[in-house]
Every structure is written in structure tokens, then in C-alpha cells.
Structure 1
Amino acid sequence: MSTPIDFTAGNYRYVPSVFQYSAGAEALPGFHVERVMFRKPVPLRQGFERIAAHIQAAGRPLTAFCACELRSPAPFDDAGFKAFNEIYVGTLSQWGIYDAATKANPVARSNVCPEIGGPPEPSFHAFSFVAAGDAAGPQFVISGSGEAREGAGSYAERIVRLNETTPDAMREKAVFVLGQMEKRMGAFGHGWDATTAVQAYTVHDLHSYMAEEIVSRGAARAGLTWHFNRPPVIGLDYEMDCRSVAVERAL
């Protein structure tokens, strides 16, 4: 896992990953993270407008935007996912966050697809930004990860137990994803004991491995929020993200 890089314009640091998101973001000393959830999904363009208004009303620059949670109508194929991501980072570039030249993106992100009652177009479910003021405990947001190994090649070539959803296969997928969460938190020097919330996204049963693989390692210390959603790319079956934030509110 890469060493965190300071994004001083936003008062946070991040773990580099791919062009569409970082592996995670953490507030710098003297700052904390605030998470805002929309009561109903807000379409991407309108969502960016509402996020900008909220951040600026809080007296913060748009570069303080550090994480978001998206909802899409259905999983993308590889080409569709790349096309969507290019549209998404366009706004981040306008805000002075995404560097098109280097493809550096400090913003953490999750993007999942509700199996029932999802939005008709890609939308925001929640976002996080960095605000001034120290807060007790670590302040970070870790990006969502599905069971795809990092590296070159298509998603199908990198997915753990592709097209398998037996209890044994789902356990292996979950263990891989839990490991990814631990690596990403570990890059900031944190672990499960620092989290204030952990979320799982799958439409498959997770009870057969929940106690041994999730609860036993401390990943459910603050409970586990299970969303009946699919990961954003066809072939993925299990995703997680986690965070440690001082303030959460709903709009």
C-alpha cells in the first residue's frame, strides 16, 4: 500500500489508488471529517451543486471535499465504468481537486447499486468534507473495495472466485475485502478499533462467515450496516467501506 500524500488544499492526506478515487482520506491535524447523508439519492449533477453549496456555507473551500458514496442503477461493464468515472472526475478537476495531468485523485469513494428501489441514474447517497477543529479520535474515510485484485487486466481476470456465490466462495471474497480494508486503514496507522462505522454491500447471505471473519477481527465493533446492494462492476459480489468521523448529519 502506498504512503499517504498530503493534499494541503483540502487539509487532508490520502492513499493513492486509481484515477477515479483514492484508497482513503484522513484529516490533517487541527481538522476533522464531517459526513452528510442525503435522505434521498440526488442525481450526480444536482448532487455536486448541493455539495458545493453545503461546503461553502460551512466556510470551507471546495477542495475540502474528501469522500463520497454513490448509488448507480445497475453494475457497469468495464467500458461503461471507465466512461462514468471520466465524467465524475471532470467536476473534481473544476474544483481543483483532481489533477488530470498526473491523474492524482485524493477523494475516497464508494459506488454501489441497490438491488431494489435504486435510482434511475447515478446519484449521491452521502459525502464527506474536512472541517476546521480538532476532534477526539482518528478522522478518516476508507474507499469501498470489492473482491478484485489490484493490477492490470479486466475485472473478470482479477475477481476472486468469479461467478461463484456459494457460502465458501462468499467467505473467501469477504476475507479478501476485509484484508483490503485493513491495508488501507493500516496505511494511515489505524485499524478496526478506530472505526465509527463499517458498511457491507452484497445481495448474498453473509451470516455463515459473519462471526468468524467479520465480528472476530473487530470489524463490527460499532455494528455492521448491511446494504442490499451490488458492487458497481459486473462480476463483483461483495464490497465494504469504513470510516471514523466526528460529525454525521442528514439533509
Structure 2
Amino acid sequence: MPQDCLRPAAPSISLLHNKAGNYRLLPGGVAHCPGIVPDEGFEVVRVQLQTWLPLDQGYPFIEAYLKSVGRPVQAVCGTEMRVPAPLTRKDWSDFNTPYREQLRRWGLMYGDLSGVCRSNIALADHAPETASLCAFSYTAPTASTEGGFCLTGSADIAQDGTIIADGDTSPAAMQQRARYTIDAIGARLIELGLSWKDANQIVIFHVHEIPDLFGEKLLGGLGESLRQGVVVYRARPPIAGAEVELEVRGARRDLIVANTFRG
């Protein structure tokens, strides 16, 4: 498996503590961590950009925004990106190199492991011309007893790097791919001491039809978690050959901000 692909942390692995950013994280990937939970007295805030920014402009935007709200850059716990098209394995590794360097400058790498969740999606319709930042998450003080969480999206790629049902987009294969992502997210929630009931938004990305997606064997089996609906995009994971990605969000505040913001 390429070392920059997400590997769910084993249950025996303890959470790392980002003291400056006020959250604990599951170690597991060199480009993105599987998930985070905020410290007591803090919550996850998600900021969606009204207009996306190329990554080289997105990083300083994050810095300026966090400074304006009195939070250190180490409070970043999630980034959401959109790429022009799925990447080959080599291009994927090349893409991650400058990103990891940025995280290291922010003090968000733990040795060779990333301390930040990430979503990275290739849209099938109206894709950006260059890799772009569309949203990010950070931790902030709260009086609430529930701080939420942030997770990295799960694609239909096994722990050893094998693509589930590789090369097959038949109805049965698409169901198998979707099932894998649901199981992977469910396991990650358990590792963080959470459940599907803690989620406030489910997002799925796919292009080929997934028959009976809302049936009991797939999303329908999540029960009350579906009360707030499911966001569906015509899109794929960022690695060529993958066809389904699932995200589960748990931010306690969700904001939309104009990209003209300069602090």
C-alpha cells in the first residue's frame, strides 16, 4: 500500500494530543489523519468558502481567518479540497509532498504522520482548473458539552491499497464499494468513541449508480442518522480507479465565508 494512503488506526493505538490546537487525533496516515475529537470546552467549526481558492492562496487565507478569530494555526483540524481529475498513484504522491510541507510549517505533523483530516475529491461536473481549497475546519472554545468531531473521507480502497472491485462498475460492484466505505467510517467512529448518531451530515461521492443506496444493506442501515438527509455529489475519490467516497461530518458550527476575507 502506498504510504500516503489512509490506514485506519488499530484500536490499540492511543490518540495523539495536539495541545496547541486543543484536539486529540487518531494517527494513521502521512497525508491525513483518520479523525479528531476536540478537547473538553472546544468544538469543531467548519468554514466553507463562498468561492474556492487555489491551494497556494488557500493556505494564507486559513492563516488570516484563524488570526481574526483569535485561534492559532495549530487549531486547523480538517481541510477540504477539489482536484481537476483523479490522480495516478505517482501524481498522488507528488501532490501530497507540498501539502505535507505546509502542515509541517504549521506544526501539524507528528513525525511522518499528519495531524489533520482531509477531504480530496475529483468532481465529475464543473471541476476546478487547479487543486483548490473549498472548506476547512478548526477548533474553537465553546460553552457546550458537545464539541463534535472531524473525519477524513473514506474511499473504496482497502488497507493494503487495493481498490475494491477494481475495474468493475456493475451494480453489484458499486454496492460492494459503497458498503466498504460505510464499514470503514463506522469503524473509525468507534475508535473515536463515537457512533453514527453523533454525525450531523453524511456526504457521498459517486458517478456510477449505486442500486438501492438507501436500502437497509447500505445507507438505510444507519437509522436515525439519515434524518438530516444525505448530500450526494457526482464525483470520485482523488485516486484513479476508485469510484466511491463517503464523508461523515460532525462540526458544531458551519459557516460560509466570502473568499475576499483578509482578516
TM-score, L = length of structure 1: 0.93
Structure-to-structure mapping, 1:1-251, within 5 angstroms:
1=10, 2-99=13-110, 102-151=111-160, 155=161, 158-212=162-216, 213-218=218-223, 219-251=225-257
Shift of 1:227: 1.2
With 134-143 and 165-174 compared, the bigger mean Cα shift is at 134-143
CA displacement 1:50-83 (0-9 Å, x = unmatched): 1111111110100000001110000000010011
- Does structure 1 conserve the Cα–Cα contact (< 8 Å) formed by 2:198 and 2:250? yes
Q: Secondary structure at the match of 1:225?
A: strand
- Does structure 2 conserve the Cα–Cα contact (< 8 Å) formed by 1:29 and 1:134? no
Taking the aligned partners of 2:91 and 2:143, their CA distance within structure 1 comes to 40
Shift of 1:236: 0.1
Taking the aligned partners of 1:159 and 1:243, their CA distance within structure 2 comes to 24
- Does structure 2 conserve the Cα–Cα contact (< 8 Å) formed by 1:43 and 1:122? yes
- Does structure 2 conserve the Cα–Cα contact (< 8 Å) formed by 1:113 and 1:231? yes
Cα RMSD (Å) of the superposition?
A: 1.3
AA of the residue aligned to 1:249:
L
Taking the aligned partners of 1:221 and 1:135, their CA distance within structure 2 comes to 22
Taking the aligned partners of 1:233 and 1:22, their CA distance within structure 2 comes to 17
Q: Using a 3 Å threshold, how does the CA distance of structure 1 residues 131 and 108 change in structure 2: closer, same or farther?
A: same
Q: Secondary structure at the match of 1:217?
A: helix
Q: Secondary structure at the match of 1:9?
A: coil
Identity %: 28
Taking the aligned partners of 1:138 and 1:207, their CA distance within structure 2 comes to 35
Shift of 1:207: 4.5
Counting matched residue pairs gives 244
TM-score, L = length of structure 2: 0.89
Taking the aligned partners of 1:135 and 1:171, their CA distance within structure 2 comes to 38
Q: Secondary structure at the match of 1:220?
A: helix
Taking the aligned partners of 1:208 and 1:17, their CA distance within structure 2 comes to 32
Q: Secondary structure at the match of 2:61?
A: helix
Taking the aligned partners of 1:237 and 1:172, their CA distance within structure 2 comes to 11
**Structure 1 segments of 4 or more deviating over 3 A?**
none
AA of the residue aligned to 2:128:
P
- Does structure 2 conserve the Cα–Cα contact (< 8 Å) formed by 1:72 and 1:114? yes
